[in-house]
A = this chain, B = another copy of it.
């Protein structure tokens, strides 16, 4: 593949992107699409101002300006810490790869280009391999330039990582201190409550906590097992009738604030909590205890009390009375709470095995796709195509564009599968499930996009690849530069196009059009409830960072395409955070450690490949200098792990105690305790006619999973699992 073919590919992609971005700037101005492109605004403000008539059909870059101008504080206010962390990933990537691009353009690219004594062709007709390290001749003294570039990139990445980690840690602490009293700080999720034949789980739990944590115990709320959902639904209908007769109807009691006021709406959902049972404890509910799961939320008087109860081993049997700090109310993944704790370890192992199996089965289409990148293979397979493939434009299209598109389509099946695995794994919070899926998708993506392409590409030439562990660096060093072209086209096609599709929101857009113009429905309630898909977007961005690092000194041309990607991503995702996605819960920056680990892994792999390359190019000096760099990078990671990571795992006692003290002094504690009792609601019952009342919600829906009425927050998540999001 020569430079012209690459530029053709880039041209096609640029054209596609410009068309799509222009289309977006028109479509977003159509009032009918407001619930596709302004879902978050609709949810929080109920109206979105649409501009005047004529301008509606003229593309304009106003959204770019808005996305550019918004401050970090705005994003923090809208999307919480997680959104800020996501933007920070992009900022970090832009910074690192700016430095890398400058260094590599000045230092590495000329060395590569003039690496061998050869007759240079006209630059556009020059093969891309001339720009990679493959063009440097063996034993060249100029390899110190690559080594120096590697040093500068590593140092820049590590110091930026350090400052980012420090700043995000501080933001996390400020987030804990600054946010309004969070019920999750006072609440402990207790699982594996032992079964006593004489009494209900609730009584056992109450006895245990009153006896052992009496000074701190406030109250508790049982979790009801999902097997009894149908019963509960019937009960709930009955309940709603009872509640109807009370004075609660059509009023939004402040004590239910935590449960109902999120998202700016006020609902008249009624809560099926312990309190109501206490009040309405008539006949007909006495057998409700049979349906209790062996899990409960226990509320404590102070944050510190909850923290200590959550972290210590309760009894001498680690499989009973398992305590953890509870997730935020909107973050709770209710259907997993009643999974018997004894199953969890086996579920985790089963999920691990299933994930590995999934990766193995996935090899088949990827190998096929890889075959397409090699024109001769394609001609051999489909001889009738030979005529078409020999046409220059078609061959450029086939080699530069088609394979990536096919690969991308296959990859769309991955996140929903991984989300399903993470749900089966038994995560108790939605954010935990997303984080787990994020890891799985990340491993999957890096393995299947990078390693399999690098290794399969070579397997076609060389049968046994993993013949020796210690030769892997050298093998990678041979294979990665030859595959650099593919990765470049991958950045162009998958990277740039994915951003255009992301901003277009094709799937919701078509759903919306279908609903409006085919079904002629006027109800907007099905849209505008997507939550940010961290589990697909974080791995995507990290993959491009990974490709950037590994190819930086080998094929520096890629860095230029990557810079375009990261700049576009910065604008697009900021726009999406501001306008589209709804942020119901906040994991407090839990995605940053993922980013850190992946970046360090990328750096280490880059250095290992460099070591292999310097070995192949017979430059013992450059190899010798790479080894200390490798050691320092690992030591740096270890230091960060010691210094910052515990803050992301556990809350610090000092901060929680200071908060406790502040609330006690200001007399807010009583109010917080009152709110706690209704913070977590497993089942909410809409009072009849509430959809028309002042307290109505646009977002109530039937949960497809188990047919009970749940809050709107589940919407985005379940869509995340069961149907692939289109971009």
Residues in A lying within 8 Å of B, measured CB to CB: 169, 173, 212, 307-308, 311-319, 345-346, 349, 466-470, 635, 638-639, 642-647, 650-655, 657
Q: Which residues of B contact A642 (CB under 8 A)?
A: 318-319, 345
Q: Is the CB of B647 within 8 A of A212?
A: no
Q: Is the CB of B653 within 8 A of A314?
A: yes
Q: How often does this chain occur in the complex, in copies?
A: 2
The contact sample of 24 A-B pairs, CB cut-off 8 A, is A169-B316, A212-B653, A212-B654, A212-B657, A307-B312, A308-B308, A308-B311, A311-B311, A311-B312, A313-B646, A313-B650, A313-B653, A315-B655, A316-B655, A317-B643, A318-B642, A318-B646, A319-B642, A346-B638, A349-B638, A466-B469, A466-B470, A467-B467, A467-B468
A165 to chain B, nearest CB (A): 12
- Return the chain B residue nearest A208 by Cβ: B654
Assembled-state Cα–Cα distance A643/B467 (Å): 39
A461 to chain B, nearest CB (A): 19
**Contact A346:B635 (CB < 8 A) given known A308-B308, A319-B643, A466-B469:** yes
Q: Which residues of B contact A655 (CB under 8 A)?
A: 315-316
Assembled-state Cα–Cα distance A342/B22 (Å): 55
Q: Which residues of B contact A643 (CB under 8 A)?
A: 317-319
A658 to chain B, nearest CB (A): 9
Q: Is the CB of A653 within 8 A of B312?
A: yes
Q: Which residues of B contact A651 (CB under 8 A)?
A: 313
A533 to chain B, nearest CB (A): 30
**Contact A349:B647 (CB < 8 A) given known A312-B308, A314-B654, A466-B469:** no
Assembled-state Cα–Cα distance A184/B152 (Å): 50
Q: A308-B311, A345-B642 are in contact. List 12 more A-B contacts (CB 8 A).
A: A308-B308, A312-B650, A312-B652, A313-B650, A314-B653, A315-B654, A318-B642, A318-B645, A345-B638, A346-B638, A349-B638, A469-B469
Assembled-state Cα–Cα distance A169/B635 (Å): 37
**Contact A345:B212 (CB < 8 A) given known A312-B653, A316-B654, A654-B315:** no
A356 to chain B, nearest CB (A): 13
A532 to chain B, nearest CB (A): 27
A174 to chain B, nearest CB (A): 10
Q: Is the CB of B469 within 8 A of A318?
A: no
- Return the chain B residue nearest A314 by Cβ: B653
The 10 closest A-B pairs by CB, nearest first: A318-B646, A308-B308, A315-B654, A313-B650, A316-B652, A313-B652, A312-B653, A345-B642, A173-B316, A315-B652
Assembled-state Cα–Cα distance A638/B635 (Å): 30
Q: Which residues of B contact A470 (CB under 8 A)?
A: 466
Assembled-state Cα–Cα distance A651/B470 (Å): 44
A639 to chain B, nearest CB (A): 7
A497 to chain B, nearest CB (A): 38
A411 to chain B, nearest CB (A): 28
One of B469, B635, B652 near A314 (C-beta < 8 A): B652
Assembled-state Cα–Cα distance A312/B310 (Å): 10
Q: Which of A212, A313, A467: most chain B CB closer than 10 A?
A: A313
Q: Which residues of B contact A307 (CB under 8 A)?
A: 312
- Return the chain B residue nearest A348 by Cβ: B638
Assembled-state Cα–Cα distance A469/B466 (Å): 8
Assembled-state Cα–Cα distance A315/B654 (Å): 5
Q: Which residues of B contact A647 (CB under 8 A)?
A: 313, 316, 318
Assembled-state Cα–Cα distance A344/B652 (Å): 21
